[in-house]
Amino acid sequence: MIDSVPSAQTYANEPVRYPPLTVVDIGLEATAVTEAYRNQVLSRVNASCLRLAVLSGDYPWHQHPHSDELFLVVDGVLEIELPDSRTLRLKQWQSVVVPAGQLHRTRGIGRTVNLCFEDLAADTVFVDRAT
């Protein structure tokens, strides 16, 4: 399990790092992350955002009640576990949309870099385990 998971409030209030019309070097941003987990908002797009997530290991079970979440793996392998015992396994340049309200848990197999597209201030509800 990842040790430094932010609170739901911190996640929803993550500041936007780059304003419009700023070129963002996503590869450089990913390389600069040294923690086992980091999730940061790079850009705002209307009421949504582009997040860069770098993780290694399990992220807790959670859902976003009002926001779909699109995952796009840039490097590594990302598993998304669902409560019905399915596990979606995404490799480099594969993506999937997890619909709003869907309970899920992500896992980076080794160091994994992915981009997420979701509502800018998406609510996050953590649960102890999938039921």
Tens digits of per-residue pLDDT, 33-88? 999 999 999 999 999 999 999 999 999 999 999 999 999 999 999 999 999 999 99
pLDDT at 11 over 80: no
73 part of a folded domain: yes
Identify the band that residue 13 occupies on the pLDDT scale cut at 50, 70 and 90.
confident
For 95-122, the pLDDT digits (tens) are 999 999 999 999 999 999 999 999 998 9
pTM equals 0.91
Identify the band that residue 3 occupies on the pLDDT scale cut at 50, 70 and 90.
low
pLDDT at 130 over 60: no
**Domain at 45, CATH number:** 2.60.120.10
81 part of a folded domain: yes
1 part of a folded domain: no
2 part of a folded domain: no
pLDDT at 124 over 70: yes
Number of separate domains in the chain: 1
131 part of a folded domain: no
Instruction: Write out the residue range of the structural domain in which residue 28 sits.
Output: 8-126
User: 34 near 95, Cβ under 8 Å?
Assistant: no
3 part of a folded domain: no
pLDDT at 4 over 70: no
